[in-house]
Amino acid sequence: TARCCPTRASPLSGVYQHQAGIGLMTGNKNLPGYQGELGRNVMTIAEALGTAGYRSYMSGKWHVTRFTRPEGPKDNWPIQRGFEKFYGTIIGAGSFYDPATLCRGNTFITPLNDKEYQPKTYYYTDAISDNAVSFLRQHAKDSPETPLFLYVSYTTAHWPMHALPKDIAKYKGKYDEGFTPIRKKRYKRLKELGLIKQDLKLSTKSGDWEKTQNKEWEARNMEVYAAMIDNMDQGISRIVAEFKKQKTLDDTLIFYLQDNGGCAEGFGRYKSSRPYRTNYKPLGRDGFQTKIWPPMQTRDGRPVRNGPDAMAGPANSFTGV
């Protein structure tokens, strides 16, 4: 569908998003189909598979409830909707370096106080992939003969444009000439691969790169976007490798779906009209990140900058798609 949480509500429940209670977003419109909450009149795929003996695990964003505070209510959180283990975020978006509503099971955590996962550099996409692999390994130890369902729910490629320097470096300069050269190369490659018909005409391009303002910033946005997808692909590869290692890949069905790609939301694409606040206090080890867009701060107390004066990628930047 056109938005993120309705898209997730449908495959989770097996019905159209309005039937699942999330016809638009997670706000309650007090109308049938627009409750902003995954309905109790539907079963999640995890609940349904549980009746067939499956064990279900989830790593990633939930985003099918309007109750996102640490105290809940939690009756519509993953653990209460059929998942045995859950690592991820309840809300729909946020910093990739310090995600809001980060949970393990039913308990709010931070990247610094999570006892089970302490990487050298925290990046949410990596965290989703790594915890998914951990669930697979634990399942293999606990009940290797039992079938499993794993829901890996990335926030990539959702805003903000955050990516690790090592991934961004791969795409340095790739978009400096604008979108047209990349478009032509991909069009040619699709034909070579036989994915589109040879006589299919390339559609008229939108926009004019020569008239585009802030070219360096726009090219950087594309570099970071590509890096985000690259990192997700790396994580999916690690998950597939774990299935191979356990010799279960041939018995595993893998689906990939994407929400919010190319979404026309302008969050962070415009420079703040107010001076950035400079008196933030660091959140420390246990303070929860409560914001998902500016005005906000990084965990170490820096203001998050947005618009063309802030190059996308690091934790103190915020750019929309």
What pLDDT, in 10s, does the model give residues 19-63?
Answer: 999 998 999 999 989 999 999 999 999 999 999 999 999 999 999
pLDDT score of 3: 82
Round to whole Å and give the CA distance between 305 and 263.
21
Contacts 24+ apart (CB under 8 A), 99-105: 99/124, 99/155, 99/289, 100/288, 100/289, 100/290, 100/291, 100/292, 101/68, 102/289, 103/77, 105/79
Check whether 262 has a pLDDT greater than 70.
no
pLDDT score of 257: 87
In the numeric block, the tokens 């309007």 are attached to 66
Check whether 4 has a pLDDT greater than 90.
no
How would residue 261 be classed by pLDDT, with cut points 50, 70 and 90?
low
What integer best gives the mean pLDDT of the chain? 94
pLDDT score of 266: 75
Round to whole Å and give the CA distance between 16 and 28.
17
pLDDT score of 185: 93
In the numeric block, the tokens 């998050």 are attached to 304
pLDDT score of 270: 84
pLDDT score of 301: 97
Lowest mean pLDDT among 158-167, 256-265, 297-306: 256-265
C-beta separation of 68 from 90 below 8 A: yes
What pLDDT, in 10s, does the model give residues 145-185?
Answer: 999 999 999 999 888 999 999 999 999 999 999 988 999 99
What pLDDT, in 10s, does the model give residues 59-106?
Answer: 999 999 999 999 999 999 999 999 999 999 999 999 999 999 999 999
Closest CA to 154 of 7, 313, 314: 7
Mean pLDDT for 200-204 is 90
- Residue, of 1 and 149, whose pLDDT is higher: 149
Lowest mean pLDDT among 198-207, 226-235, 254-263, 268-277: 254-263
Mean pLDDT for 223-235 is 97
pLDDT score of 260: 63
**H-helix or E-strand spanning residue 86:** strand 85-89
- Residue, of 145 and 271, whose pLDDT is higher: 145
Check whether 295 has a pLDDT greater than 70.
yes
Check whether 263 has a pLDDT greater than 70.
no
Q: How far is CA 15 from CA 41, 44, 104, in A?
A: 11, 10, 28
Contacts (Cβ under 8 Å, ≥6 apart) of 250: none
Secondary structure letter of residue 162 according to DSSP: B
Secondary structure letter of residue 53 according to DSSP: T
